Amino acid sequence: MTEQALPRMPSRPRVATPRGACDTHTHVFPAISDFPLSGPPSYTPPLAPASLHREMLDTVGVDHAVLVQPAPYGLDVSALVDALRQSRGRLRGVGTATSQTTDDALGSMRTAGVCGLRFTEARLPSGERYRGSVAADELVAVAARMRSHDMHAQLWPSPDAVGELLDRTLPLNVPLVIEHMGGVDIRRGIGDSGFQLLLALLREGRVWVKLTVCRRSAAAPDYPDLRAFHDALVKANPLRLLWGSDWPFVRMDARAPDVAQLLDLFGDWIIDESVRQSILVDNPKSLYHFE
């Protein structure tokens, strides 16, 4: 495997972030010698341990963050849980589990600060599933136990099947958080049926959506082709939106953005301070139970 490379570290935002701000979509990747991968990964993980993650947050002035389980670790959440324990309440986690995961294991995750489980339907450009990822079929099998542990489901959809995925998962009565702006395909426009369904559910308060612009557009650093989608989501229901950077930007290499620039862009696109406060502070505080 290629040696783990250090990720791009941020500059400082032009404008200070509000107190209690949260980056709801980040990852940690310690040295593989310390936390081995579950098997041959679909991509080479960067070297982004918990200490570097803290440095990133401190630099951009973000008080809280959510760590999302990356596919290369499969069902082994030990790296994520270790980072949560080091954070002393600053972080929350989204892990992985299947029908084979014991109830004791789910309880231990919840105690450590894991608030949800991730299910992935997105694919690599080759069409291959990310090795180590957990499919949404498993959500059906574990939904009842997730409810008993007060866990939500985080879904990374394929743009080809957003509607079908939501039709399957909404009846499970588990809170749903949709990653990466619903996996929107810019080429389809905002009139796409899957995106319109997402907007309708957002208006009704039936889903949460993460605003992680760098995964849906290659037009960095200003992502103009994504602006209409972003505006439509904000207009639909800002009280159900979350902001995320996706640091350390796996598989992006030279295209990796600066977290500070992403925060500045968010501020440029949303000029209403109360809306920014909701998305950056109040919404994540409610969903992830930050103090």
Token pair listed for 204:
């009704």
Please list the pLDDT of the chain residue by residue as tens digits (291 residues). 678 999 999 999 999 999 999 999 999 999 999 999 999 999 999 999 999 999 999 999 999 999 999 999 999 999 999 999 999 999 999 999 999 999 999 999 999 999 999 999 999 888 899 999 999 999 999 999 999 999 999 999 998 889 999 999 999 999 999 999 999 999 999 999 999 999 999 999 999 999 999 999 989 999 999 999 999 999 999 999 999 999 999 999 889 999 999 999 999 999 999 999 999 999 999 999 998
Distances (CA, A) of 28 to 51, 69, 212, 227, 239: 9, 8, 17, 28, 28
The model's pTM? 0.97
Q: Where are the alpha helices (DSSP H) in the chain?
A: 50-60, 78-87, 103-112, 137-148, 162-169, 180-183, 193-203, 227-236, 259-269, 273-277, 283-288
Cα–Cα distance between 102 and 212 in angstroms, integer?
Answer: 32
Assign domain 22-288 to its CATH architecture. Alpha-Beta Barrel (3.20)
